[in-house]
Amino acid sequence: MTTWREFLLEHAKTVGTTDIFLEEVGVIAPEWKANYAVPDKTLVEHLCQTLDNILEDTIFPDDSRNDFLSKFGRHLQFSRFGTREIEETIWSTNKNETESRGILDVGIFPATTFCLGAYGGYRFTKIVEHVEQGLSSRVDYLGMVDDKRVVLVEAKSPSVMKAVGSSLPEDTVELDWTPGGDLVSRVFLEAALYLGLRKIEWLFLTCHNNWIVCRLVSDKDNPFLAFSPMFSIEGSSEPFRAFLGAILSVLEGTPVQASEFNPSMVFDTIPEEGKGGSELPMTRFRATTSRDAAESDLMFTLSSPHYPEFFQVWVHLHSLPNNTFVLPHCTENGNRKRRLWLTRHIGCGSTGNVWECHFDNSDDLFAIKVVKLQHKSDVQRQRRFYNEFEVYLSLEIAYQSGQLRDCITPHCYGAFEGDRTNVLILGLCGDTLKDWDELNFAEQTQIYGLVWDLHRVGIVHGDLEPRNIARVPGGGFRLIDFSESVRHSCVEISGKLNKRYKCSELRAMRGVLKLLERHASALPPSNVRAHPLLRRTQHPLVRPQRGGEVLRVPPQLAR
């Protein structure tokens, strides 16, 4: 007589290898519950042990042997007649995700259906979800037993599985969703997303050949994702037994030994800076902050408004002490806090990610820069954030005093801090430039005028690239991302200019915008000799050209 566990240990295994081709995985929706992914090297062992404990000494029916083997078809070591199949290695040519799903459909899934039915009369089905558009990515397989959701399976190509397996970290992975990022982070974010939204504990990543188990550990204060090392199905029954163990642990109410969040793996947080902390260079802006600041009535979330409130994760924000800006008006319901919904990722700045957002009960759109602070090394990122906010404060003073008449940046609505998070709320601009060559001459001179005005109020941008120039609806441009800005006394504007240009940023801008070449080619020789002497005027000058044509000279290039 053979017991269930003895039979599965011996026969629930396949053989073969696959060719590896590098492939990418898709970008996922920005909702998740787990903040960290933690390695658990004993996870598979504990699943197999749980299966053994459930099956105990239950006898495997002899007349079911061939039935079980046939469920794996020719993808098992043994044929339906119990003989080893040497030539049947078609699955070893598996090269993509579609083929991975096909192998699962004729192998492990039918075997699972048979085992659960033969052992406890359970009815196992695997379904492909139909998810409402805009809510989340769709998991490949949702495992159901008697209409109860018990397990998720995400099929990957062999190339992705090998790339992930070779890069699995030995330490904790922070699950901070940003477009791009490395492959391992994206795969774990995907797993955390699927499990969190469906409130399921187990997810198996597999190409059939190789497997990784993911477990969402439910902890209301700090949920996290545990993941196993990658393990192979070649000559091993572990993948099938772990899969069956996860399902039966849910059905039988037998918990798998807990995965632990090792305190030594917790990310370092940024220490509060006291008065004795090192000062920033004098050319840098300086802002002070305190956790004792009064809490604002503002909070934001990446969660979808379509999800129930108990699943939404909110970050509560405090206004920075020197924040003199006023938030835009938004409708409030009773005493509920003002809430910002982050709806679309716009781009990545040098310090954080920028999102499109809106307030409750409002269709007006804004931009929010979110700066995450987890490591000690993020102190510099935090300082650049404060630096950028000080630029907006300085520009606001220039607007109010009349020193600046036209907007050169998005409107700022304030800076706030939350749990290891800084945010800056701004007016929403359009797309950023892709290349300087997309600009016509009028647009080039307009952008140069923005930079000139910035220098006129004593600020150098420090990172003038096309990505930091944004278009605005109706025409025009705005300068964005001031995290590298410094105080500046521009010699070109102060009148201390000699015949050689002294301001490196203005000189660089004239170079990339090709203003000197265009202007010089259009002016008569006398004007070419004179135009290095630059000064600010309020209106463009009109100068007659030879032949009676009129040339409108940009004020920044006026003599």
Annotated binding site: 369
Q: Strand, coil or helix: what is 44?
A: helix
Q: How far apart are alpha carbons 243 and 151 in whole angstroms?
A: 9
Binding residues for ATP: 369
Under 8 Å between Cβ of 224 and 34: yes
Q: Count Cβ atoms below 10 Å from residue 125 Cβ, excluding itself.
A: 13
Q: How far apart are alpha carbons 55 and 542 in whole angstroms?
A: 92
Strand-pair partners of 227? 39, 214
Under 8 Å between Cβ of 165 and 209: no
Helix-strand-coil percent breakdown of the chain, rounded to 5?
35, 20, 45
Unique residue bearing structure tokens 């901070």: 176
Angle between the 238-251 and 108-120 helix axes, to the nearest 10 degrees?
Answer: 40
Tell me 143's DSSP state: E
Q: Are strands 224-227 and 36-39 parallel, antiparallel or unpaired?
A: parallel
CA distances from 521 to 113, 305, 406, 517 (A): 79, 57, 30, 6
Residue 443 phi, psi dihedral angles, 5° rounding: -70, -35
Interior CA angle at 281 toward 385 and 462, to 5°? 55
Q: Which two tokens stand for residue 129?
A: 């979800």
Under 8 Å between Cβ of 43 and 227: yes
CA atoms within 13 A on the CB side of 327: 22
Under 8 Å between Cβ of 39 and 229: yes
Under 8 Å between Cβ of 153 and 128: no
Q: How far apart are alpha carbons 155 and 163 in whole angstroms?
A: 14
Q: Which two tokens stand for residue 72?
A: 């794996």
CA distances from 187 to 139, 190, 206, 212 (A): 12, 5, 12, 11
Residue 384 phi, psi dihedral angles, 5° rounding: -65, -35
Report the run of H or E that residue 21 belongs to, with start and end: none
Q: Are strands 412-418 and 314-319 parallel, antiparallel or unpaired?
A: antiparallel
Interior CA angle at 371 toward 365 and 373, to 5°? 155
Q: How far apart are alpha carbons 245 and 243 in whole angstroms?
A: 5
Under 8 Å between Cβ of 433 and 469: yes
